[in-house]
Amino acid sequence: MSFSQAAQFEQHVNNQLSKSLGAIPVLFPILHELGIVQTINRHSAGEEEVSHGTTVEILTLNRLMAPKPLYKVKGWMAETVLEDALDVSAEQMHDTRIGRTLDDLHPHLDAIWQDIAVQAVLKYDIDLRFIHYDITSVYFEGEYTESEKIDYGYSRDHRPDAKQVNLGVNVTSETGIPLGYRVLAGRTADRTTPLENLKALRSLLDRPELAKRQRDFLLVSDRAMLDREVIVAYTEKQIRWLGPLNVDGSLKDIMGSVSDKELEDHPLAYRPANQPKDEPLRYHGVLRSATIAYEGETVPIQVLVVKSRTKVKLDRDRRQTYVDRLAGRLEEIQGMLNTRRYKQRDYTWTQIDKARRGNPAKGLVDVELTGEDGNLKLTFRLNQEKLAQAETMDGRYLLGSNDFDLSALGMLTRFKKQEVVERRFKVIKGPVRIRPMFLHKQERVEGLVFVAMLALLVYTILEMLCRRAGQPTTARQVLEKFELLGAVYLQFRDGSVLKLPSALNVFQGQLIELLRFPDPTVYLRPLEAES
pLDDT in tens, 211-230: 887 678 999 999 989 999 99
pLDDT at 450 over 80: yes
Question: What's the whole-number mean pLDDT along residues 466-488?
Answer: 94
- Confidence (pLDDT) at 249: 85
Q: Are the beta carbons of 513 and 471 closer than 8 angstroms?
A: no
pLDDT at 393 over 60: yes
Write the CA distances from 168 to 39, 163, 178, 261, 353, integer angstroms. 23, 17, 11, 40, 38
Distance CA 352, CA 380 (A): 11
Query: Could you check whether the bond before residue 436 is cis, i.e. omega within 30 degrees of 0?
Result: yes
User: How many percent of the chain have pLDDT more than 70?
Assistant: 93
pLDDT at 385 over 50: yes
- Confidence (pLDDT) at 142: 59
pLDDT at 150 over 60: yes
- Confidence (pLDDT) at 64: 95
- Confidence (pLDDT) at 14: 60
> Half-sphere exposure (CA, 13 Å, Cβ side) for 184?
23
- Confidence (pLDDT) at 531: 44
Which helix (H) or strand (E) element contains residue 492?
strand 486-492
Instruction: List Cβ neighbours of 276 (8 Å cut-off, separation of 6 or more).
Output: none
- Confidence (pLDDT) at 76: 95
Look up residue 485 and give its DSSP letter. -
Distance CA 244, CA 222 (A): 6
DSSP 198-216: HHHHHHHHT-GGGTTS---
Which helix (H) or strand (E) element contains residue 379?
strand 377-382
User: How many percent of the chain have pLDDT more than 90?
Assistant: 74
pLDDT at 81 over 80: yes
pLDDT level of residue 451 (50, 70, 90 thresholds): very high
**pTM (2 d.p.):** 0.89
Averaging pLDDT over each range in 139-148, 158-167, 364-373, which range is the top one?
364-373
- Confidence (pLDDT) at 43: 95
- Confidence (pLDDT) at 529: 56
- Confidence (pLDDT) at 155: 83
Instruction: List Cβ neighbours of 413 (8 Å cut-off, separation of 6 or more).
Output: 270
Q: Are the beta carbons of 463 and 471 closer than 8 angstroms?
A: no
pLDDT in tens, 259-316: 999 999 999 999 998 889 889 999 999 999 999 999 999 999 999 999 999 999 999 9
pLDDT at 401 over 90: yes
CA 387 to chain centre: 37
pLDDT at 240 over 50: yes
- Confidence (pLDDT) at 102: 93
pLDDT at 247 over 80: yes
Q: Are the beta carbons of 115 and 37 closer than 8 angstroms?
A: no
With 0-12 / 13-18 / 19 or more C-beta atoms within 10 angstroms meaning exposed / middle / buried, residue 161 is exposed
pLDDT at 244 over 90: yes
Average pLDDT, the chain: 91
Q: Hey, how many other C-beta atoms are within 10 angstroms of the C-beta on 332?
A: 12
